[in-house]
Chains A and B, each alone.
Chain A
Amino acid sequence: MLKNYLKTAYRNLLKTKVFSLLNIFGLAFGITACVLILHYVNFEKSYDRFHKDGERIYRLRYDRFDSEGGAVRFASCCPPAAPLIREGYPEVEKIGRMLHVQAGVSTLLDGREIKFLEERIFFAEPDVFDILKFHFIEGDPLIELAEPNKAFVSSSVARKYFGSQDPIGKVLSIDKKTDYRIVGLFEDVPSNSHLKFDILIPWKNLENQYGPQYYEEWGHTGSYTYLRVKPQTDIAAFENKLDDLVTSQCPWLKEYKMTIDLVMQPLYDIHLTSHYLQEYEVNGNRDNVNFLFIIAFFIILMAWVNYINLSTSRAITRAQETGLRKVIGASRAQLIIQFFLETVLINFFAILCTMLLIKLLTPLFSQISGIPLTVGMWSRAWFWEAIAGFFLAGVFLSGLYPVLVLSSFKPSRVLKGRPGISQRGINLRKVLVIFQFVISLALLSGTLTVYKQLSFMRRQDPGFSMDQTLVIKAPRVRDELFSEKMVTFKETLLNNPNIAEFCTVTEVPGRQIYWDNGAIRRAGEDISKGKNYMIVGVDYDFIDVLDIEMVCGRNFSKQYSTDPKALMLNETGVKWMGFDSPESALNQQVDYWGEIYTIIGVVKDYHQQSPKQAFEPQIFRLMPEGRDIRGHFVAVLNAQNIKESVQQINRQYEQFFPGNPFDYFFLDDYFNQQYKFDELFGRIFSLFAGLAIIITALGIFGLASFSAVQRTKEIGIRKVLGADVKRILLLLIQDFVFLLALAGLFVLPVLIFGINRWLESFAKRMDLDAFIFVVPMIIVLCVTLFTVSYQTIKSATANPVDSIRYE
């Protein structure tokens, strides 16, 4: 029996090759899109899940509120909290701190100096690795990190510095200040860890760097604090206890009318929801992930709808066979089995195709999504579960309707030559086509919106210039002669005809400013009026070099010996401090932690971050020598000989600041990096919109051919009567255009709502215009017209006599 079924199924698939291929490809594209989205979603959701007992691990964050309720929220915490918590709170099993630094790292290998700028170095307490279980290959961090001057490196760092030599026992010099002996090795931190480090050095060494008072400062954030609590700990109650701890430790808060909140942030929430100050890396976005998930759902739905559509339209031709089988004794159950078997066969081929598609698309998708290729899908349980799930769901969902329709045919009807499908079936199919139109339109509009908003942001005047602007990390290894060296270095560079301008600054535009200070207020105001500002240390030339506009007042100038006690604000800072206008802020005094500064100028707001982010209040302080931590040199190059100029600067830099790695980037690249995530979203979106369009086209193709078959006789007769193909075509196209118009009407309000919702996360938003809605309509219309025409012309140009006899 099975053989008979399979034979019929197989021959049927072959006989209606086009239909079968449409079915199979439609399903395959749908499932592929879904699996890829699932891959992405899974990856995003897998962050930090590899730590044992992760549901009991938290990161302790730090929020500061001023008297007016203004909040500054940090991902990091202040250093003194952890030791107190470690001692006095039995519900905490372990607590440990880490501090992120960048540094020039060098080593001697066979008498040769090897040096790199390392961006992922952490001072760490041993307990961190009792909480977060990273994979250590050699050395026990719990023991070794308790002692100073030891280091752990990742496998790739070991390879980078020492090649195939054993790294253990080798010495790394950090900023040429402190030497660390390598005592251990760990596997590269997985890409789905929110915390990523290459070199670990003991927390104990921190003292040398920042002095002992660093440990006692409740006002300073910057160290990441992780802790694991005992099972069944009441987190809310624990947070309340922490409030009491803060109150007892920081009596001065009262005076400032400020509050500090220590917040327990679940480890699992960090990657998708944490967007605070001093975040280690830009985290993912749960909204986007959920959004993609919904898209995946609709795409697979679409593929199934397609399948139902195609199969039921084909049911007409199958009705004959079905009726006949009933007549010769098939029971309903036997028929259902047969049709399910066909569905199984189609879904099986679809799954095969899916595998092939995924195999082909994986490298491209990895490139688009940024998920490393090493995070494979094939070895994951979810992948096979998903494939099995799609297969079973596909068989049942998409098979059920045709199966029921086909097996419930009254054989008598069919045998008497009456249609086996009612008008209701046709209406259902129309609804399904509208559904597909809606999804395609929505995805296309969505894609356009993302791209338009991105280009809108890029078109915004950033408020500074970034052409041919080279940024170099300022030297961290400095000696007593640094000031003089700076001056001659600058002179040497400016004497070079390839280099137009030069300045030094603590933070170039391109990311959130890392340096922020609280409790700053107008002189004479109550201490409780203090607020948080972003601090930028600049030299005399910064404003000119980056072509930043002044609103009023003046820039720092060497002619004023008082300028070290002066500062500039940006426009947002002016408002933040409570001045009515930039002019009224001029010459006013600011109390900056007890020292009085005079406001000498107001800088026009420029985009420190991408226009997605709102402007933040900034204070510019004069620091002609820049800073060693996070200091930058900025050099504007002349358009010719960029490469050569970089080499020249490199040579000078090495000469003036030996021991410092030359690390540079171009300001425009750096700034544009910020669009990475939205661009990624746009690319993913357009990929799936493309797949949706293909699926829709397949669906329309199927329905058009169905209509064409239905109207074959009509078309035939009309042709005999002398109607031309054009008229017939028009007839069919009308139907589809009508459906498309309906879909458009339906989708418009949904889109407007959705797009506005998405735009909410952008500080600068484009205006909605008809373009976003009209273009998708036109695209879908074209696809529809093309497919319908193709089908119709094919059947209309068939010999009319054949088609009449067919009935």
Chain B
Amino acid sequence: MIRLKDVEKYYSNKFVKTWVLRNIDMEVKEGDFVTIMGPSGAGKSTLLHILGMLDDMSGGEYYFLDEPVHQLNERKRTGFHQQYIGFVFQAYHLIDELTVYENLETPLLYKKVKTSERKSLIAETLDRFNIVAKKDLFPNQLSGGQQQLVAVARALIINPKLILADEPTGNLNSKQGLEIMDMLKALNDEGTTIIQVTHDEKKAAYGDRIIHLLDGYIDKIDERN
């Protein structure tokens, strides 16, 4: 599903290049649950953003479902988001001006899903995440855990093939965190590919492979099973 070949990323600032990622080769198959670990500043988020096509690479090749992403234009890439990719972040990142219901609706609107289908999808999701009662509340009326729940729900509503989660439990207490991890696991069992970033060994254990990043290089890869 995903193949990175010698991917690199640097930020140039007045003739000085700051390398963030170098020599990244990796492959992720459909149904994988990959964990990325590493110290702060190692480049984890950057890698995740490149995988999610939120950021350009400085060099190398990136194939997503055999499409060469490094050669695609912005419109095509937007198409991939809408189609295949869901994001979950450490900060919950909901749209403050929209209610829970509308937050869930927005990606479907961007994807131009028909009204009837949209309504049933949202109803289904609200049900599944047990937040039907909250649907007319605004994000600031929810607790952190609830907001992250909505954020995950929003990532899932488009039924993505790939979920990218950047420290999804970082701001939650351990009980809420475990709930979210269980949810991701369940999704993975249903076949969704998941790439998560975490600092927590216990949560890293949910994945079947751990990629350790250090100063922009892949330091080592732990295979489970």
Residues of chain B within 8 A of A328, CB atoms compared: 81, 87, 106-107, 110, 154-155
Residues 60-109 (chain B) with a chain A CB within 8 angstroms: 74-75, 78, 81-82, 87, 89, 93-98, 102, 105-107, 109
A799 to B111, CA, bound (A): 42
In the complex, are the beta carbons of B54 and A412 less than 8 A apart? yes
A807 → chain B closest CB, angstroms: 12
**Closest B residue by C-beta to A415:** B89
B36 on the interface (CB 8 Å rule)? no
B194 at the interface (CB under 8 A from A): no
A8 to B54, CA, bound (A): 23
Contact status of A329 and B49, CB under 8 A, knowing A11-B97, A410-B55, A415-B93: no
Distance of B121 from chain A, by nearest CB (Å): 14
Q: Is the CB of A324 within 8 A of B95?
A: yes
Is B52's CB within 8 Å of the partner chain A?
A: yes
Judge if B210 is at the interface, Cβ distance under 8 Å. Answer: no
A805 within 8 A of B: no
Partner of A329, one of B46, B89, B93, B107: B107
Tally chain B residues at the interface, Cβ within 8 Å: 30
Q: Does B45 contact A (CB under 8 A)?
A: yes
Asked if A324 and B93 sit within 8 Å, CB to CB, the answer is yes
Nearest CB on B from A60, distance (A): 69
Interface residues of A in 314-338 (CB under 8 A from B): 320-321, 324-332, 334
Instruction: Return B79 CB to nearest CB of chain A, in Å.
Output: 8
Q: Does A643 contact B (CB under 8 A)?
A: no
Q: Which of A4, A320, A416 contacts B106 (CB 8 A)?
A: A4
B89 cross-chain contacts in A, Cβ below 8 A? 415
Q: Which one of B45, B96, B97, B154 lies within 8 Å of A7 (CB-CB)?
A: B97
Chain B min CB distance to A10 (Å): 9
Scan residues 96-132 of chain B and give those whose CB is less than 8 A from a CB of chain A: 96-98, 102, 105-107, 109-112
From 406 to 464 in chain A, residues with beta carbon under 8 angstroms from any chain B beta carbon are 410-412, 415-416
Q: Are A416 and B111 in contact (CB under 8 A)?
A: no
Does the CB pair B95–A327 fall under 8 Å?
Answer: no
Q: What separation, in Å, do the CA atoms of A698 and B49 have in the docked complex?
A: 39
Q: Which residues from chain A contact B110 at a C-beta distance below 8 Å?
A: 325, 328-331, 334
Q: Chain B: which residue is nearest A15 at the CB level? A: B97
Of B45, B78, B96, the residue contacting A331 (CB under 8 A) is B78
Cβ–Cβ contact A326 & B98, under 8 A: no
Instruction: Flag whether A1 is at the interface (Cβ < 8 A).
Output: yes
Complex Cα distance, B107 from A244, in Å, reads 85
Q: Are A412 and B55 in contact (CB under 8 A)?
A: yes
A329 to B45, Cβ gap below 8 A? Answer: no
- In the complex, are the beta carbons of B52 and A321 less than 8 A apart? no
Task: Mark A569-591 against chain B: 1 for CB-CB distance below 8 A, else 0.
Answer: 00000000000000000000000
- CB atoms of A7 and B106 under 8 A apart: no
A328 to B55, CA, bound (A): 14
B21 CB–A CB distance under 8 Å: no
- For B213, the chain A residues whose CB sits under 8 A away are none
- Do A416 and B45 contact each other (CB < 8 Å), given the known contacts A7-B97, A327-B52? yes
The chain A residue with its CB closest to the CB of B97 is A11
8 closest cross-chain pairs (CB), A and B? A412-B55, A329-B82, A11-B97, A329-B110, A412-B49, A328-B107, A331-B78, A412-B54
Measuring CB to CB, which residues of chain A are less than 8 angstroms from any residue of chain B? Answer: 1, 4, 7-8, 11-12, 15, 320-321, 324-332, 334, 410-412, 415-416
What are 22 pairs between A and B in contact, CB < 8 Å? Answer: A1-B109, A4-B102, A4-B105, A4-B106, A7-B98, A8-B98, A15-B96, A321-B97, A324-B93, A325-B95, A327-B93, A328-B107, A328-B110, A329-B111, A331-B75, A332-B74, A411-B54, A412-B49, A415-B45, A415-B49, A415-B93, A416-B46
Beyond the given A324-B93, A325-B110, could you list 10 further A-B residue pairs with CB under 8 A, ordered by the A residue number? Answer: A1-B112, A4-B105, A12-B97, A325-B95, A326-B54, A331-B78, A331-B110, A334-B110, A412-B54, A415-B93
